Amino acid sequence: MALYATSAQGQIAPDGLLPRAPLYVTPLVSGVLLCNAGNRISELKTLEQIQDWCVKNNATDDLAVKILLDELEPGGPAGKVQLGYTLLVPLLELFEQQDGRWKVSATKAKRYLDVIATIRRPVVVYLMGDHYDSSSRLSQELALDPRNLLAYATGPVPTSRYIGHGIIPFTLRSDPDIPVNQYRFEALRHMAKQISGLDASVRSQIIAVTLAGELHHMYPGFEDGVGEYDNIRVTDYSAESQAEFKDWLKDKYGTVERLNQQLGSQFTAISDIEAPSLDIRKSPLRSFSQHYDAYAAGTLPIFGWLWDPKQKIQKLDLYIDGAYHGPVSRDLGRMDVYRAKKDVTTPNTGFRSNLTFRDMTKGKHIAQIVATSGRKRYLLGEREFVIVPPDQSSTADALPPKRLAALPEASDLEGVEYWLDRPKQLQDVYYNPLARDWDAFRAFQVNTLLNRFYRIARSEGIPAELLYSHQIVSESNGAWNPVLFASDSSVSNTTPWRTGINQYGASPYAFEYLKKKNIRAYGVPEFNPLRGANPDAARKAFVQHYQAGAKFVSPFFLSVVPARLRAPDDKRHFDIAPDNPNDGADTLHSALEWFVRK
């Protein structure tokens, strides 16, 4: 990709950027309520103590975030690229105990709103109500009630941590009577109503409102388990969630007879159905409908990584049983490869194709990844896999698969490195139609909760054009397992909310994804390029979002929190600062300074 855009006449604009509505660069700032004077008082040991001191001493003009932003973009926001900020509002932190009950504190809410009036820069208001909303006394209390939590088939999901931050697996059910929903919906209504009632000059600073945070299902090893395929555990198997699954099946199929006809099952009543949760390889099943694993919904991911610094390979294609199946997506994020191999200077080395095997014949098949270089084809990798009948009967009599033969290995290409991670050789896969429905229902839960946040915000007067999601696109990360998240369908051009996609690795595939989904109006609520080995890469990523028409891009994150208050296990991942080399955070800071001067 060229760093600068050109006009139809081929002319480069003076600053390298063609005219368009301003792109707002709105970094999330940790410690947005802190003032510099309070930060310097070492006797203040918590964020709350500093915040209270700043309010009592009327230090609003000394807000640390205001001074930081003015240093990055002196003279205020202007031009084609304008610097603002993301104002994170954890909904459960807005409550305080009054007479033994938790009530929204108008004072706490006003502190956030006062920031907008004080800073007078473009702002994305992030109304957070997901698993990261975990620091308040109220959230800790809610975590003790199983009604508020997601569950594995084996029991409740434990709390965990992610880069030094607590994680509480709050439910994705949208029932307003669930205690955690009562509180987060009440806080959402209050904040939305207060935002709508702001003075017009203050309200005009708000260029977007992102909803809820990263809503998705849970899995073990929250920080490192995103690529698990062999031993997956997912949510939500709570009794209430399973009851909702049965209602969902009734809405989809109407009668148990029609369900059995469509699924090939033999249930006597929809009320008898259990969500699938057992791996046929490891557990005895009463019926095949209980089977569940990473592939049970009928999709086999075929993926790996390719490092081709001289760009000798023009395309990758997937062949199944010797026949062309389709193109293979490239440039997906592979941070694991980037961190492990010092000669690889970009994390965007991943490739992937998802094979739907639901209607394929039982027995052995072969998948081959074929690289085209010039006029020649090369074999990048191949794997045999076996589609097993539900009764696990032998497929030895099935015809052997055809394959492309006599292709030279891609290793013959000088400087090319690669690996095919999955599937494993002779991977056995079993298609369970009920598992397909279970995954569709889990995605439905994500969308329904996000839609509830959207409808509440709209009912309190926030315009539809300001409301964005705040979602992960797991598909753009080459080794992640989308089944764990069940959230990809929340990113589409048919949702009432505008698309907000979070980027880990700034994969160019995100733009292909947006094009494939026909999404035009979008923002990037969290932007984490993670590309320290290539100083120009972060600049290119900013420019590409400008070219693609993003409304805002929110680098994640700047911090004005004193170092003495950092958590003991805080490794400063994502902390964008000149003195933090982790994953190129210092390089991103430099690119941010460069870009906002455009």
- Residue by residue, pLDDT tens for the chain (598 residues) are 344 444 344 444 545 678 889 999 999 999 999 999 999 999 999 999 999 999 899 887 799 999 999 999 999 999 999 999 999 999 999 999 999 999 999 999 999 999 999 999 999 999 999 999 999 999 999 999 999 999 999 999 999 988 778 999 999 999 999 999 999 999 999 999 999 999 999 999 999 999 999 999 999 999 889 999 999 999 999 999 999 999 999 999 999 999 999 999 999 999 999 999 999 999 999 999 999 999 999 999 999 999 999 999 999 999 999 999 999 999 999 989 988 998 998 889 999 999 999 999 999 999 999 999 999 999 999 999 999 999 999 988 888 999 999 999 999 999 999 999 999 999 999 999 999 999 999 999 999 999 999 999 999 999 999 999 999 988 888 999 999 999 999 999 999 999 999 987 677 888 888 888 999 889 999 998 666 666 688 888 899 999 999 999 999 989 999 989 887 767 777 889 998 888 788 888 998 999 998 7
Q: Are 129 and 184 in contact (CB under 8 A)?
A: yes
Is 164 a member of any domain?
no
Can you tell me the distance from the alpha carbon of 428 to that of 438, in angstroms, rounded to the nearest whole number? 20
Count the domains in the chain.
2
Can you tell me the distance from the alpha carbon of 232 to that of 487, in angstroms, rounded to the nearest whole number? 16
Is 148 a member of any domain?
no
Closest CA relative to residue 389, chosen from 430, 425, 428, 358: 430
Residues 304, 416, single domain; the answer is yes
Which residues span the domain enclosing 325? Answer: 299-429
C-alpha pair distances (Å), 423 with each of 316, 354, 428: 17, 11, 9
Give the per-residue pLDDT at 582.
82
Closest CA relative to residue 532, chosen from 308, 310, 347: 347
Residues 94, 63, single domain; the answer is yes
Q: Which of 429, 457, 492 is the last residue of a domain?
A: 429
Residues 397, 457, single domain; the answer is no
Residues 479, 361, single domain; the answer is no
Entry pTM? 0.94
Pairing of strands 467-468, 206-212: parallel
Q: Which of 373, 406, 429 is the last residue of a domain?
A: 429
Can you tell me the distance from the alpha carbon of 404 to that of 205, in angstroms, rounded to the nearest whole number? 59
In the block, which residue shows the tokens 């270089």? 373
Give the per-residue pLDDT at 203.
97
Can you tell me the distance from the alpha carbon of 411 to that of 405, in angstroms, rounded to the nearest whole number? 16
C-alpha pair distances (Å), 360 with each of 300, 364, 420: 12, 10, 22
Is 563 a member of any domain?
yes
Residues 189, 306, single domain; the answer is no
In the block, which residue shows the tokens 């995103």? 226
SS (H, E, C) 125-193: EEEECCCCCCCCHHHHHHCCCHHHECEECCEECCCEEECCEEECCECCCCCCCCHHHHHHHHHHHHHHH
Is 229 a member of any domain?
no
Is 65 a member of any domain?
yes
Can you tell me the distance from the alpha carbon of 484 to that of 87, in angstroms, rounded to the nearest whole number? 29
Residues 449, 411, single domain; the answer is no
Residues 448, 420, single domain; the answer is no
Q: Are 147 and 173 in contact (CB under 8 A)?
A: no
Residues 339, 383, single domain; the answer is yes
Token couple for 84: 């603002």
Can you tell me the distance from the alpha carbon of 235 to that of 219, in angstroms, rounded to the nearest whole number? 7
Can you tell me the distance from the alpha carbon of 61 to that of 64, in angstroms, rounded to the nearest whole number? 9
Give the per-residue pLDDT at 538.
83
Give the per-residue pLDDT at 363.
96
Can you tell me the distance from the alpha carbon of 81 to that of 22, in angstroms, rounded to the nearest whole number? 5
Phi (first) and psi of residue 219, to 5 degrees: -160, 160
Residues 518, 470, single domain; the answer is yes
Residues 423, 452, single domain; the answer is no
- The strand pairing partners of 354, in sequence order, are 301
Give the per-residue pLDDT at 12.
41
In the block, which residue shows the tokens 């052995």? 364
Token couple for 286: 């009463």
Can you tell me the distance from the alpha carbon of 388 to that of 376, in angstroms, rounded to the nearest whole number? 35
Q: Are 170 and 138 in contact (CB under 8 A)?
A: no
Is 203 a member of any domain?
yes
Can you tell me the distance from the alpha carbon of 104 to that of 460, in angstroms, rounded to the nearest whole number? 16
In the block, which residue shows the tokens 């970094």? 27
Residues 39, 85, single domain; the answer is yes
Residues 327, 380, single domain; the answer is yes
Can you tell me the distance from the alpha carbon of 38 to that of 66, in angstroms, rounded to the nearest whole number? 14
